[in-house]
Amino acid sequence: MTADIRRLAKALGYEPQDAELLEQALTHRSASAVNNERLEFLGDALIGFVIAEALWDRFPAADEGRLSRMRASLVKRESLAKLARDLRLGDYLRLGAGELRSGGHARDSILADALEAVLGAVYRDAGFEVARRVALSLFHAKLEQTDASRAGKDPKTRLQELLQARKRPLPEYVVVAIDGDQHDQTFTVSCVLQDDDLSSRGIGTSRRRAEQAAAELMLEQIRDV
């Protein structure tokens, strides 16, 4: 077992029997024909089910639509990429030369896919109950922060409603930067409150997603003020 796999396993709270599965989970298709795509397929299904079950137990009064919206928020690409960064998965990834040059180790899509593959590897190596425990541990903080009453409203809507309730001007969203190739762009958007000289910046794979991320950060700044 390599030092990287040992560190990752420790962070996951899991002792692998077959370290090669975790190594495969960290191998992007640009680096090898034996890569993480099949494990990603399993991990995606596993995460979807585990989070759906957790939400079912946590919110017994929520209907199917609200449960679906909460699950979508928890398992979306940006959320998975954030968890992958918390695990420092980018440090362990095996990428081809082109992806290395273009900063693939920091790209949301690659990080999210790798996290799914890692959980797929845990499932194949140790079974469902261990994989479920690892997944719930990773998602614990996000599950604790999930509020069923907010599930139907995105951050921009919630920010707008909060500002209107306080009789404040609506925010302005400005695209600060667009990076990456045409087919794989990353947008950076600033959310500005003109009456308070406050701003936040969000990053996403589309302008809309970046605006939502910026709005979420702005909400965190002003919610308790």
Structure tokens at 43: 């991990």
Q: Which of 23, 78, 108, 116 is catalytic?
A: 116
Specify whether the backbone of 127 is left (phi greater than 0), alpha (psi in -120 to 50) or beta: left
Cα 207 from chain centroid (whole Å)? 17
Active site residue 44: yes
Q: Which of 44, 78, 99, 108 is catalytic?
A: 44
| Cα pseudo-dihedral 201, 81, 54, 8, rounded to 10 | -130
147 a known binding residue? no
Residues 112, 20, 108: CA angle, nearest 5 degrees: 10
Active site residue 116: yes
Distance between first and last Cα of the chain? 50
116 a known binding residue? yes
99 a known binding residue? no
Known catalytic residues are 44, 116
User: Annotated binding site for Mg(2+): which residue ranges?
Assistant: 40, 113, 116
